[in-house]
Amino acid sequence: MQGFLWRQRVNGPVAEQLTDSDGTDHQPDWSPDGARIAFVRYDGSAMELMLLEVATGAVTPLTSGGAVNVDPRWSPDGTRLAWVSTAGTGHFLLHTAFVRDGRLAEIRTVVADHRSAMPRYYYSPFDHAINPAWTPDGKSIVFVSNREVPHGTGDIVRLAADGSGSMEVLRREETNWQTRPDVSPDGTRLVYASYLGGQWHQVWLLPLSVGGYPIPLTYGEFDNVGPRWSRDGRQIAFISNRTGTTSLWVVDVVSGEQRQVVPRERRFLAPRRPLTVKVQDEAGRPLAARLSVTDARGRFFAPDDAWIHADDLLIPERQRMETRYVHGAGEWRMFVPPGPLEIKVARGPGYAVVRRKVDAQASVTVTLPRLAFPGKWWSGDLHVHMNYGGRYRNTPAQLVQQARAEGLDLVYNLVVNKEQRVPDIAAFLPGPDPASTGGVLLLHGEEFHSSYWGHVGLLGLQRLILPGYNAYPFTAVASPWPHNAAVADMAHAQGGVMGYVHPFESDVDPSRDERLTNELVLDAALGKVDYYEAVGFSDHLSTAAVWYRLLDCGLRLPAGAGTDAMANYSSLRGPVGLNRVYVKAQGALSRESFLAGLKAGRTLATNGPLVGLRVGKAEPGDTVKLPAGSALQYHAWLRSNVPVTKLEVIWNGQVAARHDVNGMSADVAGEIAANESGWILARAWSENGNEDVLDIHPYATTSPIYVTVRGRPHRSRPAATWALHWLDRLEKTTLANPDYRTTREREAVLQDISRASGIYKSCSAEQN
């Protein structure tokens, strides 16, 4: 409950606060005698094990090395702890130690560091051991290990507590961080969380004997996780998100009866007072927004039932903890400590970020000014995952509320697999979701998950393309076929739109990168790509460098944007709308009008600043035709709710003009020499991060304005050579890959590589 430990009787209404720190306290485990609690405290730089003496409230650190220490579990006799730590290796390994006089003694690494020979997506090549639980005799530990497991977080295994012998696999199935096995007090059964055969975790029981078959104890289209046996073995406590947010439940093991443990009264360790925060627009109307309330110690406070999110951005020189926030319709009620508070309110790039210092007020009203910028635009986040394995249970109505609080006009929920699951598959509709209200249009699309060829977004679909991924080793879809060009054809046949998402995290050099398999360069040449996430969950400058090369080959590739927000995570890269595209409005907002503007390139993409460009009357997406080389007169503008240091005009991939703005608003003009065909765009950015942006640094770009001189297309031999190196890599990896099921699959890819190579060779031969 908001980063503190609490105690409550299962059948009682009162929750008593046990800790009150400047960090976040979680993962408590009672000692068998009930006198002590081992738990994890996160302080913004490390996760350390702590020991709470329940009678006195005294807290002492058990670890202090600056590593990640999690999952503490007491041995049955209360003399030892098992836990998971990255100390020494940087990898999640299982450790044990005796607890003597409030300190750890005889620390042992139970599972040795090991690099797997298995190919893996999303997981380190180094094996991990997580979620320990002791057997009642204290001789063995049950835990989750991915030792030589290619997919998921691993199997449920058993190992001697001293690390001797070999792991015994108790249950082999795909898991995803939430398994957390616990052994029954009589030692005969395991309880754990599993999504076997479904999209959501439930509580399952498994005989502890090897080879037993599991059965579910709970059912539902929501998650039940974190199960723990009662001391008498008659009940199991667990966490459920059936109401959307997390709540504590208990199930009777014999009858299956479930009841919620509700804290109807909270007894705080220190005084609290009520606070109401209201947000309104400049006309005094309630305004949905994002809110952060912190005290002088940096602690965060929110309503009891709020979805609390922590962003994954941390700027150590300016922040002790990550930014935490809640969304709401414009009014929040909470309990806060006496003393000064800082209230921060935001609503996406179109509004100012407002900070207020308050002291003893019981109610605070914040007016959020809107930024004025040229033109009429629709804002949309093209890449959101409503549910993706997070703590909360999201719904279309809740996602619309999140989008409204961020000032979005449109949000695309991309249905995608999370390992074997596809959490949002039941939500897919070909048209607008019925939850679309209050000026927010909610649409459903798909992210096709090929970590081999590169992830792509599919918008405007009539039906999903399933299973939605390929090139998964040791599965029935181990083949890289269908490649992204074939997937694009399937989407286009439905009237859909395809774009490359979160493209590149670092600079790409196809002449050196022997493992390059991303298919963007091929698909762009063949006209398969309708948009490009110029601002997304990637490095913006590296992503731009690849984009500029393709534009230099005469290809037309509009800028899109998407956050890749896992909108049901409590800690996430986000919020929804962090990375968004603005489409120049024409007519009424609809799926068709928005996608038409996106494909036409009437766009700017941003994580905060708003930037625009005009050449004469031409705007992004337009073509300027010149009978001969001449000077191009441009006008660029910037509006931002955070300081920006650079406003640049890019001509054919190079900075043609740099305007040092050092502020939040600018209108500039200039000219560049256009002696040959090309393209021009404007971008605004700062090198350093800003805690109000929640991204690596502020960045925005327009789509290009295309310039044709003497009717000739723009061509660049260096860019074409670069693209041909890229295709050479694809050809070599395609020929060498043993996972194609048939020669026909491989030949289809090779034929597309050959076609794309011909286009880039023509580009090289026709250089301006």
Quick check: is 44 in a domain?
yes
Nearest-angstrom CA–CA distance, 42 and 314 = 13
What's the whole-number mean pLDDT along residues 7-20? 96
Tens of pLDDT, residues 275-284: 999 999 999 9
Of 367, 384, 403, which closes a domain? Answer: 367
Nearest-angstrom CA–CA distance, 669 and 690 = 27
CA 536 to centroid of chain Cα atoms = 11
Quick check: is 30 in a domain?
yes
Task: Check which CATH number belongs to the domain holding 318 and give it.
Answer: 2.60.40.2190
Query: pLDDT averaged over the chain?
Result: 96
pLDDT at 304 over 90: yes
Total residue length of the chain? 768
What's the whole-number mean pLDDT along residues 88-117? 95
**Structure tokens belonging to residue 316:** 């150590």
Contacts of 11 (CB under 8 A, 6+ apart): none
Tens of pLDDT, residues 455-483: 999 999 999 999 999 999 999 999 999 99
The per-residue pLDDT for 765 is 84
**Structure tokens belonging to residue 413:** 């929920």
| 71 plus 11 within the same structural domain | yes
pLDDT at 768 over 80: no
Place of tokens 């400058």: 541
Contact 225, 200 (CB under 8 A): no
Of 251, 266, 281, which closes a domain? Answer: 266
| 241 plus 306 within the same structural domain | no
φ, ψ (nearest 5 deg) of residue 31: -70, 155
| 262 plus 323 within the same structural domain | no
The conformation of residue 231, written as its DSSP 8-state character, comes to T
For 325, 336, 339, the CA distances from 359, given in Å and listed in that order, are: 20, 11, 5
| 245 plus 336 within the same structural domain | no
Nearest-angstrom CA–CA distance, 731 and 516 = 10
DSSP-H helix ranges across 321-457:
396-405
Of 266, 287, 314, which closes a domain? Answer: 266
For the chain, what percent of residues have pLDDT higher than 70? 100
Tens of pLDDT, residues 556-565: 999 999 999 9
| 118 plus 19 within the same structural domain | yes
Tens of pLDDT, residues 594-639: 999 999 999 999 999 999 999 999 999 999 999 998 999 999 999 9
Confidence of residue 257 (pLDDT cuts 50, 70, 90): very high
The per-residue pLDDT for 126 is 94
Contact 288, 405 (CB under 8 A): yes
DSSP β-bridge partners for residue 415: 446
Contact 409, 557 (CB under 8 A): no
CA 543 to centroid of chain Cα atoms = 18
Quick check: is 519 in a domain?
no
Nearest-angstrom CA–CA distance, 690 and 609 = 12
User: Starting at the edge strand that comes first in sequence, how are the strands of the sheet with 69-74 ordered?
Assistant: 69-74, 80-85, 93-100, 103-109
Nearest-angstrom CA–CA distance, 699 and 689 = 10
| 256 plus 363 within the same structural domain | no
Nearest-angstrom CA–CA distance, 400 and 597 = 22
pLDDT at 119 over 90: no
Nearest-angstrom CA–CA distance, 268 and 380 = 42
Dihedral (Cα; 746, 751, 752, 754), 10-degree rounding: 130
Secondary element (H or E) of residue 309: strand 309-311
| 252 plus 124 within the same structural domain | yes
φ, ψ (nearest 5 deg) of residue 545: -60, -40
Secondary element (H or E) of residue 638: strand 630-651
Q: Which residue, 764, 521, 613, is CA-closest to 532?
A: 521
For 64, 269, 298, 357, the CA distances from 360, given in Å and listed in that order, are: 37, 19, 17, 10
Quick check: is 82 in a domain?
yes
Contact 680, 649 (CB under 8 A): yes
Quick check: is 448 in a domain?
no
Contacts of 295 (CB under 8 A, 6+ apart): 301, 336, 337, 339, 340, 341, 342
For 92, 460, 506, 542, 690, the CA distances from 314, given in Å and listed in that order, are: 22, 35, 20, 21, 10
φ, ψ (nearest 5 deg) of residue 551: -60, -35
Quick check: is 564 in a domain?
no
Contacts of 387 (CB under 8 A, 6+ apart): 393, 394, 423, 424, 567, 568
| 140 plus 253 within the same structural domain | yes
Please tell me the total count of domains within the chain: 2
The conformation of residue 522, written as its DSSP 8-state character, comes to H
What's the whole-number mean pLDDT along residues 90-106? 97
Nearest-angstrom CA–CA distance, 537 and 109 = 36
Task: Check which CATH number belongs to the domain holding 155 and give it.
Answer: 2.120.10.30
Tens of pLDDT, residues 747-756: 999 999 999 9
Nearest-angstrom CA–CA distance, 535 and 582 = 12
Quick check: is 136 in a domain?
yes
φ, ψ (nearest 5 deg) of residue 178: -105, 10
Q: What domain range is 171 assigned to? A: 6-266
Q: Which residue, 544, 470, 553, is CA-closest to 504?
A: 544
For the chain, what percent of residues have pLDDT higher than 90? 93
What's the whole-number mean pLDDT along residues 311-338? 93
State whether residue 310 is helix, strand or coil: strand
Nearest-angstrom CA–CA distance, 638 and 661 = 9
| 282 plus 342 within the same structural domain | yes
Quick check: is 199 in a domain?
yes
At position 334, the amino acid (one-letter code) is M
pLDDT at 211 over 80: no
The per-residue pLDDT for 305 is 92
| 196 plus 226 within the same structural domain | yes
| 26 plus 40 within the same structural domain | yes
Nearest-angstrom CA–CA distance, 534 and 500 = 9
pLDDT at 734 over 80: yes
CA dihedral for 403, 405, 408, 410, sign (positive or negative): positive
| 26 plus 73 within the same structural domain | yes
Tens of pLDDT, residues 339-377: 999 999 999 999 999 999 999 889 999 999 999 999 999
Place of tokens 């441009």: 634
**Between 210 and 661, residue with greater pLDDT:** 661
Concatenated DSSP letters for 94-122? EEEEEEETTEEEEEEESS---B-SS--SS
φ, ψ (nearest 5 deg) of residue 123: -125, 150
